[in-house]
Amino acid sequence: MKILIVYAHHEPKSFNAALLERSLKTLSRLGHEVKVSDLHAMNFNPVAGKDDFKARRFPDALQYDREQKYAHTHDAFADDIQAELDKLVWCDFLILQFPLWWFSVPAIMKGWIDRVFVNGVVYGTGRRMDAGGLKGRKAMMTITTGCYPEMVGPDGLLGDLDVNLWHLNSGTLAYAGFKVLAPFTAWSIHYTDHERRTRYLEEYAVRLEQLETAEPMFFHPLADFGSDWRLKPDVAPRTVGQHKKDSLCE
């Protein structure tokens, strides 16, 4: 497979860097072709703005997503965006690797998503979920945390991790059309010992060996929804994001 790893960590001696190094060794041993966008090393600009476009449809007032659509058809993206977009459409498999920051991606990776998941290619004009612009591809997040797994169990102090990550797994990756594999998570990295961290590196290599065979997470296909955008009455909700109103807790 052609694999793009988008990587957000500032420190070459970090545990994230060790995970990245292990993934590169493992994926090349398995015969995959790999490209890495090391966002800090690239000094990637995460702030979406007017300089992202070489030509504008609406020069008087910036409408960012509409300009993305125009830029795609007029070859008008700034060079750094076009280079990343080329890598994104090149890949069969996208890995987003990052330390969990405020239950999300660090800002540099959020900016990569904002600027590179462009309207007119990734989404827009009906491109979403199983009709998303990146359909046919797979994606997965590789995450390190400060928290313990018990804290993000369904009844944990911080709430279910699947709920916390819904905006990324569904709102970003599945929305763009990816089949999404469950995240690989290395837990409480600061509060564990060297031996456990070494085992995480081994476990990650095993996960990477299963990329082509692992069953993706379930997301409701567009066909499960009516013209009112809601699940059809005869379709039972099967995700953490969709649920029956009367099942909501107070």
- List the interface residues with ligand FAD, window 198-227 (CB under 6 A): 198
Looking at beta carbons only, is 29 or 230 nearer to ligand FAD? 29
Q: Indicate which single residue of 7, 15, 123, 184 sits in contact with ligand FAD (rule: CB under 6 A).
A: 15
With binding defined as CB under 6 A, does residue 14 bind ligand FAD? Answer: yes
With binding defined as CB under 6 A, does residue 24 bind ligand FAD? Answer: no
Looking at beta carbons only, is 163 or 235 nearer to ligand FAD? 163
What is the closest distance, in whole angstroms, from the C-beta atom of residue 171 to ligand FAD in the complex?
Answer: 17
- List the interface residues with ligand FAD, window 43-82 (CB under 6 A): none
Residue 124 to residue 118: CA distance in whole angstroms: 9
Residue 56 to residue 63: CA distance in whole angstroms: 10
- List the interface residues with ligand FAD, window 95-154 (CB under 6 A): 99-103, 144-147
Q: What mask, x for binding ligand FAD by CB under 6 A, covers residues 175 to 194?
A: --------------xx---x
**CB 181 within 8 Å of CB 214:** yes
Looking at beta carbons only, is 37 or 142 nearer to ligand FAD? 142
Q: Which residues bind ligand FAD (CB under 6 A)?
A: 9, 11, 14-16, 18, 99-103, 144-147, 189-190, 194, 197-198
